[in-house]
Structure 1
């Protein structure tokens, strides 16, 4: 079967392309009109509008820039990234400009739809003017024998969706457990070159990623996590007021990935922002491993690229902690897109710089934490590249490296500098990133982001001499030395240590034997800097605590994941060369399948019947464990208290997150006894507090958080119970 490739629409003849865009636009307008008239077609508007605004604007931008003959996956990634950037900055411009024309509610549905319609119309006209002569249509050739593989892979996300429904409704995890087994089977089949052809590796990465993300994000009909509640509150504030109040002094309020993007999806797709965060954002985030796969494949091969991403998505942080950080999900996509642009030296330099500046600016307006890490890396990489290109320094470095090569590899090969057509990381780009970062955070966060960074820097500088590598101050070191709570957790911990060892081996070999690998100089420089960031997270006091050690490690793996696989190949080729008959990828697939099974909580569920994952543990669904997952009764209790409260609210550390969705960032943590409470105040208890008579208190005197579960019953003695629904209770005095 031969079909026109929808992922390469930027190469279609201009007239068929414009006809399709206009037809899709008319369908979207028709669906919205029908809903205003009272005729609604379930799901259709959400699907059509999402695909339209997430792909068409960016694809037209690529066409205007004259970016042609890209691979399908690259066109898809650049188009979606450009579309998201267009939506974010459009919302910002609307919020600033429209009030001058008497439109006081720029984020209401009609102005947003009319604005997007106008932007797409302008983009279509520019496409016709600038690129009407270009036409090289591409086709998708689907062989009948490929149908089982395609449909088999596409069934995995279906298992994820059905499994979460079964878990939510019946508290049965059998389908989700089966899904994890299927994901493991796919990795093993690819490791042993069975069934799945290499051309389907990108599809495999995408469906495995989406399945792992959905199996967590779709658990519960409510939000779960930490920062995501505050993100929801700020986005919902924009939706309710149809206006973004940029004067609110909060770091997250300056992030267009929250205050602009969520309202766009919510209004145009007619979706509750809760489901935007639970469905659309994980879908966008699933493109991060796909983009990294493309970047790694260009520099290595398909197998290394696939298992690099399998390792990357297997770590629990990816499909757990990251789902509670919507703004970082968007920022990481833009970071990956900058990597793709950076390593593609075949692209026209002028065109690549347009994309690099667009994606770089989009990182800044998406997540402040990732912005500062990237900014630090960018400056360090630029300096490192300048030094690498210095002839004297290069000659000295080669003398040192040549001595090491004699030990590592007897065949010297070409030890000269690997030439590149041009460097993407230039002084102009570094200065642009610095200036735009300062401008954005001073203008739209009232300087709160800069204040936070300065405070963190001061604390690091003042404590580094006394607390270097001190577990009480360096969170990464604390994670390493803290004893695991069970044998299974100990095994998981040591599996992570093994992967870190693989990274060290792989990075060392790739740096020393540069002539034997195809890694771009800039990518290697970023990898070296990110490895140092990892080391800093373990040794430097209060450095990792700014983000959290697991998140910091996850970010560095965006660059370091391929070196884990290269290191594993080297180690396994030595250890298992006879057992696997030279197929080191087979050994790698088995190792990383085991790694996934331990990280996902699968092994815990099998061995103990109580998983560490909220997606596999039915008691977490019922909120009978101390987790960040809240049941309907807890949510309704919090909503009731929000509607009536006029005094301070005391709530334990976990349930405190629930009140962030109402904007209460400064509720007080429930103390261990009533004598520590003051004045008139409400006390909120969740299901876990009521059933176990326990509350969680967290002490943050050091970066290693101390968790104390205290007897909460003494706290509400002599107080009046004013609300109870079987899952939440409210007391007042």
Structure 2
């Protein structure tokens, strides 16, 4: 049974009056909830929901309407809508800060920000109406097939199980529902073969729900921030929130990223949402659009929805996607723009609009993440050399656009640094090195695959990682052969831009894997490389299966790759369960998942507990650090363990650059000593030697502690002076 409903995001096809009526309703609703809050008549949740919809979709869809992009898919429109909204918010906040600071004391605060965004949206309304008031648009409808209802209900159950499962972990110490949710997620890779149950039309929705479920299953654990760099990002954002002004002269890379110092305060102010929940809820939601863009890229290469879906499933299953990325808010935003840059490159849009979109998304990438911008320049240069060598020409992937991107990145750095030309050049070179070496190839956490581990699950995880890398190698070599010979098989026709960037990425990954003493510890680059290389994992797996099938004299005929994909579905299911920590938790074999194994890690000994508390910040640590921030003598240093100095004191305490106890224990005179939750409960301090984390016994500090007086304790934190 079919039902035709008006397509809610196919705005290019809507009549202008219907189009503006829907958006104007959201526009006025946003004005209304802000007005009600001003007179202290707050309605719970309404402002957060309307504010999020307003900021995330309204500016972008108006710009998309003005661009008049024709013959693009619903998925492309939704991706462009979100990206155009994000860059509109970042640039409007930037100009308000730079120009409005002359007239407004606190430009980055609720009323100035809302007035600025409201004005921009109102102008876009007027321009859209004037431009199209006499145009005639045929109504666009989307088909709703009631046979899709079971799969929609299934996805709702998955998302509900994840959200409510994290609630049970947080408040009742039960992981049963969350484990069940992971099984539901994993089973989708098998259900995808039942086309009547899950039609191809549902694949994008499935990808989005799987993505947000995987991200939320970690980010919603505890009411505090999750991970590493996120605390430095919180500090930079909160500094803007507290002062109402962004000071770009503060010499920190993170402070130069509008994705942190402008975008996060905008969402926090307009939605009346704490920065913690902006990073825990809003940013993962936005990041969930990235796999959709990757799915589009892959479909344009092979025109096979199942292979594209499997490839994206592999991308989302790799460990950093739902762990490290949650602690890298700026990279969550930057990857949206990176994926759209590649999508624009390989798509057949009208030339002027294609160049405009490339420029817009390039600016978005530059102002969102230094390291990823410089890495893209590096990959582009290598990719262009490949195009020249293979006598291929690209409309948009050429020296002019690469030079434009480089100028954009350098220009942004020069503006932010505001220094002399010589100092700027030196700072730029140092910044490029630091951004790539420490933001992209940082090696401070557990390895993905090659780290030696005595556990059975650890060895099995290494095997599946090496297998996937072997599949990538086979798939890439086979695809290069297909590309070089200009063959088109089963709809496979690789674009030159995609192959050039993939080659650059593959070569870089091989070099770093071979030369790095820590092997797969370059986890961030491996995650980035899977944006381009995940497709080759699935294609390589199919090639290996076909070769094995021929070796067995075609025991299992597989002309349409169905058997091969079923074989890969088993592999991917195991790959996800091992990566996410499900198997380790069930077997109690060195469990390391913060969400699935919270209690197991607490009870698993000192090493397991200290690993947990590098990701997981108890609320008592927040209370202790905030108290110290509000009551300390600012002339006195604070000494604490590595994790406290880097994370909770720098983030929630807003006290960066404090001292590590194990480095300067003999200098703790006339200072504070801060002990956090695991220091008190387990009696150990975290420390860092080179790129490895360790710990030492707190008893070694007793002679120093005995000379001081305790001034604060909440039972789990202690502060001495």
Per the TM superposition, whether the score is higher than 0.5 is: yes
SS in 1 for 2:170: helix
Structure 1 residues 276 and 709, CA, compared in 2 at 3 Å: closer, same or farther? Answer: same
1:106, distance to aligned residue in structure 2 (A):
1.1
Structure 1 residues 663 and 40, CA, compared in 2 at 3 Å: closer, same or farther? Answer: closer
1:504, distance to aligned residue in structure 2 (A):
0.5
> Does 2:525 align with 1:552?
yes
Q: Verify the 8 A CA contact 2:150 2:197 in the aligned structure 1.
A: no
1:485, distance to aligned residue in structure 2 (A):
4.1
1:23, distance to aligned residue in structure 2 (A):
1.6
Q: Which stretch shows the higher mean deviation, 43-52 or 161-170?
A: 43-52
1:446, distance to aligned residue in structure 2 (A):
5.2
2:59 to 39, 57, 60: 57
> Does 2:318 align with 1:315?
yes
Structure 1 residues 525 and 250, CA, compared in 2 at 3 Å: closer, same or farther? Answer: same
> Does 2:322 align with 1:332?
no
1:134, distance to aligned residue in structure 2 (A):
5.2
Q: Verify the 8 A CA contact 1:460 1:543 in the aligned structure 2.
A: no
User: 1:32 aligns to what?
Assistant: 34
1:60, distance to aligned residue in structure 2 (A):
1.1
Structure 1 Cα separation of the partners of residues 698 and 294 of structure 2: 47
**Alignment map for 1:600-611 (pairs within 5 Å):** 600-608=580-588, 611=591
1:386, distance to aligned residue in structure 2 (A):
2.5
SS in 2 for 1:142: strand
> Does 2:704 align with 1:731?
no
SS in 1 for 2:650: helix
SS in 2 for 1:484: coil
> Does 2:470 align with 1:501?
yes
> Does 2:76 align with 1:103?
no
Deviations 1:476-496 (A, max 9, x none): 999765412422112112211
Deviations 1:433-463 (A, max 9, x none): 111101111211457997577348889999x
Structure 1, unmatched stretches of 5+, are: 391-419, 463-470
1:543, distance to aligned residue in structure 2 (A):
11
> Does 2:411 align with 1:442?
no
2:697 to 711, 714, 718: 711
Structure 2 Cα separation of the partners of residues 634 and 478 of structure 1: 27
Q: Verify the 8 A CA contact 1:476 1:538 in the aligned structure 2.
A: no
Structure 1 Cα separation of the partners of residues 92 and 444 of structure 2: 39
Structure 2 Cα separation of the partners of residues 130 and 526 of structure 1: 39
Q: Verify the 8 A CA contact 2:674 2:717 in the aligned structure 1.
A: yes
1:648 to 628, 631, 637: 637
**Alignment map for 1:305-454 (pairs within 5 Å):** 305-345=308-348, 347-389=349-391, 423-445=395-417, 454=429
> Does 2:543 align with 1:570?
yes
Deviations 1:352-411 (A, max 9, x none): 111110001110000111011001112222232223227xxxxxxxxxxxxxxxxxxxxx
1:520 to 487, 495, 508: 495
1:618 to 574, 577, 598: 598
Structure 2 Cα separation of the partners of residues 456 and 108 of structure 1: 30
> Does 2:672 align with 1:669?
no
SS in 2 for 1:643: helix
Q: Give the alignment's Cα RMSD to 1 decimal.
A: 2.8
1:280 to 254, 279, 282: 282
> Does 2:686 align with 1:696?
yes
Structure 2, unmatched stretches of 5+, are: none
Q: Verify the 8 A CA contact 2:374 2:432 in the aligned structure 1.
A: no
**Alignment map for 1:171-182 (pairs within 5 Å):** 171-182=173-184
Structure 1 residues 568 and 475, CA, compared in 2 at 3 Å: closer, same or farther? Answer: farther
1:610, distance to aligned residue in structure 2 (A):
6.1
SS in 1 for 2:673: strand
Deviations 1:255-293 (A, max 9, x none): 000011011111111111111111000000001001101
Q: Verify the 8 A CA contact 1:474 1:539 in the aligned structure 2.
A: no
Structure 1 residues 608 and 542, CA, compared in 2 at 3 Å: closer, same or farther? Answer: closer
Q: Verify the 8 A CA contact 2:237 2:265 in the aligned structure 1.
A: yes
Deviations 1:497-523 (A, max 9, x none): 111111100000000112233110010
Structure 1 Cα separation of the partners of residues 239 and 307 of structure 2: 45
